C-alpha cells in the first residue's frame, strides 16, 4: 500500500506528522505525558513539554518495561520506561469530521501490555467510520508499586495505581486533542480485554475518570472478586500494599526513594520480588472496591458492552498435569488461596468426574468461571441494577480454525479467541478461514463500531442484540451463528456467587445469580 507523509497536525505540545495511505492516516508514538523516568518514576503522569518543529509520528515507540509478550506468539518489541505514548488511526481528512473514538487499553495481567502489536492495529476498524486509539501505560512494579514514602510525597496520601493514572492521563489528552484528528471528544469509548477490560471496570468506578468517556467495552475481565478470596487480601488496600513496598525496597537494598529511583528499571523485572503489581484501593484513584461503587450506583454511568468466552480456562492449563486425586489441593496451591481451594472442592459436585481427563475439563471450566465468567456476569448485573445506561452482554463460543500444529490448537474458544474477529483481523493469520468466520468477523466489528457511534451495537446488516436487564438477562451467544440465550454456566457462577457473597455480605439464599440484598460490611 502506498504511504506518504500527511500534512502536520497540531496537538498541544507541537506539530506531528503521520503516515498516510489511500484510506487512512496513522500517527504512531505520540507522547501524551512526560517520560516517567528519574524523579518522575512512581509519580502521576506529568505534562509533555512542547517541542520545536514537526515531530515525526511514523514509527511505534517502546512499550512499558516487561518480560515476554502479553499475547502468545506476538512479536518481540523494545521496552522502556519512556513509554507513555499512544497511536491514532483515522480516516478523517479534517478536524471537522467529529468521528467517534475507540480507545484500546491492552491487557497482560498488569505486568505486560502493548499498544502496537499487529493484532490491536486500528487499520480495519478505522475504515468503518471511527477513530481508533491504542495506549501504552506503566505495568508491573513500575506501574503499581505502593510505599509509605510515595504516599507522603503524593499530595493526596496515596500511592500505587500509576498505570491507572496513565490511562486517565491518556483519556484526558484525547479529550483535549482528538478533535485535531477529526475525532469527537464527546463520543469516546474505552475498550479493553483481560487486564485491559479490568481497567475499563476500574475506570468506570474511578471518580478521576468521570467525563472522559461516554461508553465502555470489556472483553474477558472485570475487577469485582472480593479481596478475601485472593492470595494477598491485605495487599489489595493501601496499607498492605505499602508494607509490601517496604519489603521490596529491603529486597533491593534501597534505603530511600532516591535509591529506588536510581535503580535500573530491569531490576524491577526480577522474579519473586515483593510489592504489588495490581490496582489497589488507594483512596484516590480507587476510593473503594469497584463492587461497592457499582452496587451503590456511584459508577460512571455509561452504556456498557461486555462478554467472555466459552473456553477461557483452557489456555491457563497449558503444561499443567491435572489429577483428580488432588484436584482441589492443586488449585488451592496454584492460587495461594484457601478460599479458592474450598471453591474447587465444591466444584467437584457440579459434573460427574471419574478420570484425570474429566478433572482437566472441570479445571478448565473452573478457571473460566473464576477468572472471567463471574466478573463478567457480576459487572453486567450490577450495572443493569444500579445504572440507567443499557448493558449488552455476549458469550463467545466460536472456535477459530487453528492449525493442528498451532500452540492454540487445544484452546477452543479460549482467552483472546474473539479478538481477531472484533478487530476484523483474520487476514493476519494464514489459517483456513471459512465464510462463517468472515461473516462473524464483519458482524463483531460492526457491533463494536456501531456501539462507539451511538452506545447501541444494533444497526443494519447485523442480528438484533437485545440489551441485558435484571428481568430478561438476555445474552448474545456467538458461535458459527449469532443467537440469543440466557446467562451461560449458571451452576458454576451460582457457586462462586454464594461463596463471594458470604465473604462480602451476610449471606442469603436465592435462586438467581447475584440476586442478593447486600448488607454493607464495615469500612476497610
Interval 89-125: pLDDT, tens: 999 988 899 999 999 999 999 999 999 999 999 999 9
Q: Is the pLDDT of residue 3 over 60?
A: no
Q: Is the pLDDT of residue 4 over 80?
A: no
Q: Is the pLDDT of residue 270 over 80?
A: yes
| Res. 516 pLDDT band, cuts 50 70 90 | very low
pLDDT at 374: 97
Q: Mean per-residue pLDDT for 514-518?
A: 35
Rounded Cα gap, residues 290 and 296, in angstroms: 10
Rounded Cα gap, residues 289 and 434, in angstroms: 44
Phi, psi for 17 (deg, rounded to 5): -125, 120
CB 400 within 8 A of CB 437: yes
Listed in sequence order, the residues at least 6 apart from 26 whose beta carbon sits closer than 8 Å to its beta carbon are 18, 19, 87, 88, 89, 122, 123
Phi, psi for 115 (deg, rounded to 5): -90, 0
Choice among 242, 312, 367, 418 that is catalytic: 312
Q: Is the pLDDT of residue 1 over 80?
A: no
Sign of CA dihedral 506, 508, 514, 515: negative
Where residue 145 falls (left for φ over 0; alpha for ψ -120 to 50; beta otherwise) is beta
CB 423 within 8 A of CB 125: yes
Where residue 272 falls (left for φ over 0; alpha for ψ -120 to 50; beta otherwise) is left
Per-position DSSP letters for 321-338, written without gaps between them: ---GGGHHHHHHHHHT-H
Phi, psi for 477 (deg, rounded to 5): -95, 120
Looking only at the bridges linking them, the beta strands covering 4-5 and 391-396 are unpaired
Paired with 99 in beta bridges are 183
Rounded Cα gap, residues 402 and 183, in angstroms: 37
Give percent of the chain with pLDDT exceeding 90. Answer: 87
* Cell of residue 429, nine digits: 493469520
308 catalytic residue (yes or no): no
- Helix extents (H) in 275-319: 290-295
CB 145 within 8 A of CB 280: no
CB 351 within 8 A of CB 417: no
Most confident of 420-424, 496-500, 507-511: 420-424
- Model pLDDT for residues 248-267, shown as the tens digit of each residue: 999 999 999 999 999 999 99
194 catalytic residue (yes or no): yes
Structural domain boundaries in the chain = 1-185+221-302, 304-524
* Cell of residue 260, nine digits: 529506588
Q: Which fold has domain 304-524?
A: Rossmann fold (3.40.50)
pLDDT at 505: 64
Task: Provide the 8-state DSSP code for 72.
Answer: T
Choice among 415, 418, 425, 477 that is catalytic: 415
Rounded Cα gap, residues 104 and 387, in angstroms: 23
More confident residue, 213 or 512: 213
CATH number for the domain running over 1-185+221-302: 3.40.50.1820
147 catalytic residue (yes or no): no
Choice among 116, 194, 199, 201 that is catalytic: 194
Question: Between vectors from CA 421 to CA 397 and to CA 108, what angle results, nearest 5°?
Answer: 85
| Res. 440 pLDDT band, cuts 50 70 90 | very high
CB 101 within 8 A of CB 188: yes
**CA neighbor of 423 nearest in space, from 90, 102, 83, 59:** 102
| Res. 269 pLDDT band, cuts 50 70 90 | very high
Assign 381 to helix, strand or coil: helix
**1-185+221-302 and 304-524 in the same fold:** yes
3-state DSSP helix/strand/coil % of the chain, to nearest 5: 35, 15, 50
| Res. 5 pLDDT band, cuts 50 70 90 | low
Amino acid at each position: 500500500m502506498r504511504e506518504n507523509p500527511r500534512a502536520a497536525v497540531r496537538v498541544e505540545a507541537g506539530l506531528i506528522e503521520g503516515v498516510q495511505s489511500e484510506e487512512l492516516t496513522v500517527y504512531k508514538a505520540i507522547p501524551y505525558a512526560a517520560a516517567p523516568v528519574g524523579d518522575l518514576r512512581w509519580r502521576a503522569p506529568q505534562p509533555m513539554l512542547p517541542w520545536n518543529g514537526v515531530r515525526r509520528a511514523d514509527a511505534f515507540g517502546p512499550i512499558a518495561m516487561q518480560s515476554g509478550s502479553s499475547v502468545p506468539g506476538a512479536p518481540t518489541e523494545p521496552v522502556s520506561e519512556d513509554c507513555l505514548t499512544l497511536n491514532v488511526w483515522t480516516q478523517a481528512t479534517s478536524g471537522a469530521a467529529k468521528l467517534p473514538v475507540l480507545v484500546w487499553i491492552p491487557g497482560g495481567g498488569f505486568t505486560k501490555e502493548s499498544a502496537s502489536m499487529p493484532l490491536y492495529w486500528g487499520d480495519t476498524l478505522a475504515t468503518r467510520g471511527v477513530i481508533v486509539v491504542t495506549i501504552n501505560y506503566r505495568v508491573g512494579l513500575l506501574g503499581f508499586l505502593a510505599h509509605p514514602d510515595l504516599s507522603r510525597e503524593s499530595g493526596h496520601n496515596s500511592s500505587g495505581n500509576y498505570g491507572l493514572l496513565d490511562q486517565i492521563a491518556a483519556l484526558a489528552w484525547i479529550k483535549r486533542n482528538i478533535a485535531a484528528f477529526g475525532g469527537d471528544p464527546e463520543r469516546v469509548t474505552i475498550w479493553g480485554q483481560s487486564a485491559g477490560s479490568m481497567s475499563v471496570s476500574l475506570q468506570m468506578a474511578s471518580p478521576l475518570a468521570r467525563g472522559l468517556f461516554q461508553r465502555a467495552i470489556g472483553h474477558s475481565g472485570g475487577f469485582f472478586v472480593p479481596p478475601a478470596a485472593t492470595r494477598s487480601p491485605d495487599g489489595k488496600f493501601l496499607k498492605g500494599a505499602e508494607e509490601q513496598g517496604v519489603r521490596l525496597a529491603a529486597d533491593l537494598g534501597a534505603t530511600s526513594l532516591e535509591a529506588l529511583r536510581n535503580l535500573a528499571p530491569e531490576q524491577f523485572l526480577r522474579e519473586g520480588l515483593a510489592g504489588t503489581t495490581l490496582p489497589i484501593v488507594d483512596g484516590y484513584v480507587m476510593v473503594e472496591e469497584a463492587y461497592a461503587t457499582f452496587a451503590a450506583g456511584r459508577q460512571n454511568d455509561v452504556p456498557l458492552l461486555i462478554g467472555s468466552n466459552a473456553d477461557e480456562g483452557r489456555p491457563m492449563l497449558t503444561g499443567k498435569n491435572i489429577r483428580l486425586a488432588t484436584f482441589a489441593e492443586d488449585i488451592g496451591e496454584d492460587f495461594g488461596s484457601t478460599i479458592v481451594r474450598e471453591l474447587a472442592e465444591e466444584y467437584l459436585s457440579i459434573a460427574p468426574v471419574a478420570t484425570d481427563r474429566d478433572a482437566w475439563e472441570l479445571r478448565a471450566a473452573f478457571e473460566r468461571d473464576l477468572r472471567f465468567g463471574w466478573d463478567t456476569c457480576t459487572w453486567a448485573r450490577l450495572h443493569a441494577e444500579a445504572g440507567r445506561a443499557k448493558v449488552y452482554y455476549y458469550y463467545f463460543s466460536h472456535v477459530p480454525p487453528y492449525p493442528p500444529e498451532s500452540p492454540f490448537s487445544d484452546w477452543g474458544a479460549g482467552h483472546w479467541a474473539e479478538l481477531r474477529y472484533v478487530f476484523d483481523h483474520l487476514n493476519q493469520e494464514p489459517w483456513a478461514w471459512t465464510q462463517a468466520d468472515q461473516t462473524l468477523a464483519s458482524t463483531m466489528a460492526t457491533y463494536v463500531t456501531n456501539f462507539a457511534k451511538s452506545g447501541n451495537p444494533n444497526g443494519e446488516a447485523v442480528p438484533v442484540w437485545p440489551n441485558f436487564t435484571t428481568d430478561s438477562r438476555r445474552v448474545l451467544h456467538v458461535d458459527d451463528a449469532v443467537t440469543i440465550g440466557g446467562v451461560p454456566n449458571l451452576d458454576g457462577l451460582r457457586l462462586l456467587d454464594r461463596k463471594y457473597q458470604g465473604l462480602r455480605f451476610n449471606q442469603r439464599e436465592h435462586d438467581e445469580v447475584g440476586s442478593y440484598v447486600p448488607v454493607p460490611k464495615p469500612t476497610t
